[in-house]
Chains A and B, each alone.
Chain A
Amino acid sequence: MQTAFTPRQLKDPGIAEAAAILKDCVHYGFCTAVCPTWVLLRDENDGPRGRIDLIKAMLETEGRPDAKTVRHIDQCLSCNACMTTCAAKVDYLHLADVARIHIERHFKRPLPDRALRALIAAVVPNAGRFRRAMTMAGLARPFARVLPGRLGDLIRIAPRRLPPASPIGPGIYPAEGERRMRVALLAGCAQQALAPHVNEATVRLLTRHGCEVVIAQTPCCGALTLHMGKERRALAAARASVEAWSAIAADGGLDAVVVNASGCGTTVKDYGHLLRGDALGERAAQISALARDVSEVLFEIGLNEPDTIRPLTVAYHDACSLQHAQLITAPPRALLQTAGYRVVDVPEKHFCCGSAGTYNMLQPQIAGDLGARKARHIESTGAAAVAAGNLGCLTQIGLHSALPAVHTVELLDWATGGPMPPALEGVAIPDPQDADMANAAEAGGDGPVGIW
């Protein structure tokens, strides 16, 4: 696509980056058909191709972005389904980042919007504040209906009960047996408050598989604020994380930075890009190169023989950040199968569940529609539980489905000696012998519709 930026505009690194990305777009439109918001709203401007044109016009035209453009970009989930479909390999992820930062700098949102965004940006990335806010939301739940606008929505999607605070915190957790790797684990922000058992399972699982796990005192990875266009805060978070992990690497070495929330993992893997040109740029690139989803690390190490086979049927939900941004789809399934679970895919698996970082707080209507749609598909599989590698997805699915939603690492931990995931309490676990008989019948190749 031809662009019309002036030489002066192109001196702005953000504009220069956007100009290079925009040139790749040739309007094939494959992206549009897989875009969840386009599928729901059927508006060209609510698909990537339309948004790319809007971003181009917004950046080319100096001055205040128009409200229509801002609305359509705000409605983008950044699920990146468009990127895995795009034949021209348009880097929509970074184009959207540039657009959001531009909007944040040049567009004055109505006061309630600004207040909400400021509240989210101040609270959610901070585990302590988030935990206190969730406690207050629990107290305010009876009044959610009478609270104004989005505040009521926020309280409605807050969890009804908070689990107890976790003993897992900054420190070194030694490997069991021979040390095979030394890894840093991103403790995360919201996850520490909402689901501390995920980090507990991760530490047990990694140490059991020969990893020495180091948890540093790091802030939020910066993903949440970056996706809200708050570049300064995102960069500060990224710098702090890079410094913390670089210090660990310098003091004892580091084989990987392990992330168990794939939304965060996508951002950590992008630190090299985010901090390019920064004084920490080189170190950021090194950290990005070390960043791995927990499933990648375990797949590489190889899962221990499961203690007990529990042939639970698990619907595996591909978090967008794993399947579309990090392109990780096979390792989690393979690990779950090795652990003895029967893994089924979810229809329409390329589609976002509506969580998308802060999206379900900022765009509750679309997020709700997507969440309900995803829940219907998950339940249609007949699985006993749903697994995913991103807490945001699990929380969102839990709002729309009664099916137990567990992190992949919880299931792997359980299979290799850890406790049963809390969400599975009360779920009937199939007898391995019955499952063997069913598998034997299946292996014969005969089914209700075909003889092989």
Chain B
Amino acid sequence: MTMASEAAFEAFFRDVGEAIGADNLDRSTETLTRYGENTMPAGDRRPTGVVFPGSTDEVSIVVRLANKHGVPLYPTSTGFNQGLGTRSAPAAGMAVIDLGKRMNRILEVDETMGYAAVEPGVSFQAMADELQRRGGQWMVSTTTGPPQGGMLGNAMDKGAGYGPYFDHFGFSCGMEVVLGTGEVIRTGDGSIDHDVGELFNWHVSKYSFGPILDGLFAQSNYGIVTRLGIWLLPRPPAIRSFHFTFPDDDDLEAIIDLCRPLKLTNFVPTLFRVSNDLYLIASEETHPDYAATGGKAAISDEARKALQNKHGLGSWTVSGAFFGPSMEAIEPQIKRVQDHFGASGKATYIDHTDALAMPPLKCAIDAFSGVPTTQELGMLKWRPGGGNAWFTPGTPMDGKTANEFQKLGRAIYEANGLDYTIMNVCGPRFARGLHVLTFNREDPDESARAAAAYTELADAFAARGVHVGRSPIDFYGYHMEKAMPAFREACEAIKRALDPRGVIAPGKYGIG
């Protein structure tokens, strides 16, 4: 959309203040500075104002006013989209709708059916606390990102956890959405025209009459989701983890081939976290050669090996967990995976008790157990200066392919003087490769190298037919350009249908 005039923005904020209260609007300098901050190479993007609606009706009012004045809106939930833009809009000058400040209610917890309905501001920590308060019978699937990150926003952005309910969008059910016109719809069984009494199946049945619209609202291009049903997992009495560490970079090929059958049969109920050395160690350390090299060189193999030895971890470490009635009852499954990985001749086993004393592996145990954790955030200080961007391609669960992708990615990091940091989150057929780019954002040269590394990675993987799952705000358009033209046009056509004035997050993920 074309950016509205200054007068249009002024009129919009005046009308919003009158409609939902001037207290629910903030245009102070310090607030605008904060909301524009991110960790990207391309810098901060200051909005023109921040609006705090308190209900779906108020969101609808704000969207209608944005239509009236032609003002672009950028919705955020809790604003912790770490490494992908935090809560900054892709472009400066938008009006932010912060849904986290006032719409942070857990609307419903059904302890019979095992679901919760939440507003956008409900964090993983808040839900974990609430489930604990209710007696701890249920657990939430949590990420290893910030505990205060939003469940709804994470699900809508196709985020994931590590347990059986890891697919946060897939395990959501039933939405309330404010469309780009300001109209409000419910999806799934909630779409029945029934405003009196309960909507019994809204949050228990994903597929109802009519097309399955929910997927359209992933990535938040076509509407603002103000309520989401999220399925909960009964908490098992015992969760026992297992870990295997491998010495060499090229062991990834064997690891992936070892993990695949365990997931195809669902013998292991969690995903596998296949993390490289730096992904685990960076949270406990800083780059040892940073001062000596001025940050211009990737960590040396010798320094990597020294850190591996210090932490008792090899080039790759595999983590998974079993659920069961007691720790003892899980013993046969543990023995089975020990034999399975042991057959490789290269795996060193780390048991659950020892792993609890190793912070990077304790983090994995927390992740499998639905316990929000801050441990992994420590990797952001591997290099100084606060720069951080995540590149998220994937690989089929074929060892040879995964290892080829490893070599490809590692070479690009090293060529740009950056440190290859990755976790492959492995299911039965696919692993998402969470590539972490940590860089000194206060150093223009290093920042430029991070941006270059990112686009080289994107180009190299795209050349092999591999897309990304999510994207940092700097590269929304870059990735969308790699989609086939007819796909792009289809996305734009849906945008025109549901958000004809293009007020909802224009430019997000390269749409609108």
User: Is B244 located at the chain interface by the 8 A CB criterion?
Assistant: no
Chain B residue numbers with a CB within 8 Å of A26 are: 39, 385-386, 441
* Contact present for A452 and B137 (CB under 8 Å): no
User: Is A87 located at the chain interface by the 8 A CB criterion?
Assistant: yes
* Contact present for A445 and B133 (CB under 8 Å): no
* Contact present for A44 and B325 (CB under 8 Å): no
User: Is B148 located at the chain interface by the 8 A CB criterion?
Assistant: yes
Chain A binding surface, main DSSP class: loop
Chain A residue numbers with a CB within 8 Å of B34 are: 27, 29, 44, 49
User: Is B445 located at the chain interface by the 8 A CB criterion?
Assistant: no
Chain B residue numbers with a CB within 8 Å of A34 are: 147-148
* Contact present for A447 and B234 (CB under 8 Å): yes
* Contact present for A449 and B78 (CB under 8 Å): no
Question: Contacts A29-B86, A33-B123, A42-B101: A450 and B137 contacting too (C-beta < 8 A)?
Answer: yes
Q: What residue in chain A is nearest B328 (Cβ atoms)?
A: A443
Chain B residue numbers with a CB within 8 Å of A347 are: 129-130, 132-133
Question: Contacts A28-B386, A447-B137, A450-B234: A345 and B132 contacting too (C-beta < 8 A)?
Answer: yes
User: Is A365 located at the chain interface by the 8 A CB criterion?
Assistant: no
Chain B residue numbers with a CB within 8 Å of A442 are: 237
Chain A residue numbers with a CB within 8 Å of B236 are: 445, 450, 452
Question: Contacts A33-B80, A450-B137: A27 and B377 contacting too (C-beta < 8 A)?
Answer: no
User: Is A85 located at the chain interface by the 8 A CB criterion?
Assistant: yes
CB interface residues, B 99-129, toward A, < 8 Å = 101, 111-112, 114, 123, 125, 129
A1-26 to B contact mask, C-beta < 8 Å, 1/0: 01000000000000000000000101
* Contact present for A27 and B37 (CB under 8 Å): yes
Chain A residue numbers with a CB within 8 Å of B133 are: 347, 377, 380-381
* Contact present for B111 and A85 (CB under 8 Å): no
User: Is B248 located at the chain interface by the 8 A CB criterion?
Assistant: no
User: Is A84 located at the chain interface by the 8 A CB criterion?
Assistant: yes
* Contact present for B132 and A443 (CB under 8 Å): no
User: Is B30 located at the chain interface by the 8 A CB criterion?
Assistant: yes
Q: How far is the CA of A84 from the CA of B374 in the complex (A)?
A: 8
Chain B residue numbers with a CB within 8 Å of A29 are: 34, 37, 79-80, 86
Chain B residue numbers with a CB within 8 Å of A444 are: 325
* Contact present for B374 and A443 (CB under 8 Å): no
Q: What residue in chain B is nearest A54 (Cβ atoms)?
A: B30
User: Is B324 located at the chain interface by the 8 A CB criterion?
Assistant: yes
* Contact present for A30 and B130 (CB under 8 Å): no
Chain B residue numbers with a CB within 8 Å of A345 are: 132
Q: How far is the CA of A112 from the CA of B78 in the complex (A)?
A: 40
Name which of B112, B236, B238, B374 has the most chain A CB atoms within 10 A of its CB: B374
Given B30, B39, B235, B378, which contacts A89 in the complex, CB threshold below 8 Å? B378
Question: Contacts A42-B101, A347-B132, A443-B326: A28 and B111 contacting too (C-beta < 8 A)?
Answer: no
User: Is A50 located at the chain interface by the 8 A CB criterion?
Assistant: yes
Q: What residue in chain B is nearest A448 (Cβ atoms)?
A: B137
Question: Contacts A87-B381, A88-B381, A450-B137: A30 and B374 contacting too (C-beta < 8 A)?
Answer: yes
Chain B residue numbers with a CB within 8 Å of A307 are: none
B448 to chain A, nearest CB (A): 18
* Contact present for B137 and A449 (CB under 8 Å): yes
Q: What residue in chain A is nearest B135 (Cβ atoms)?
A: A382
Chain B residue numbers with a CB within 8 Å of A348 are: 129
CB interface residues, A 299-358, toward B, < 8 Å = 345, 347-348, 350
* Contact present for B386 and A452 (CB under 8 Å): no
Question: Contacts A450-B235, A452-B323: A30 and B111 contacting too (C-beta < 8 A)?
Answer: no
Question: Contacts A27-B37, A34-B148: A88 and B326 contacting too (C-beta < 8 A)?
Answer: no
* Contact present for B374 and A33 (CB under 8 Å): no
CB-defined A-B contacts under 8 Å, sample of 11 = A27-B386, A28-B82, A28-B380, A29-B34, A29-B80, A29-B86, A30-B80, A33-B123, A84-B374, A87-B381, A345-B132
Starting from the known contacts A445-B236, A452-B238, 9 additional A-B residue pairs (CB-CB under 8 Å) come to A26-B385, A30-B148, A34-B148, A87-B378, A345-B132, A377-B129, A444-B325, A447-B237, A449-B234
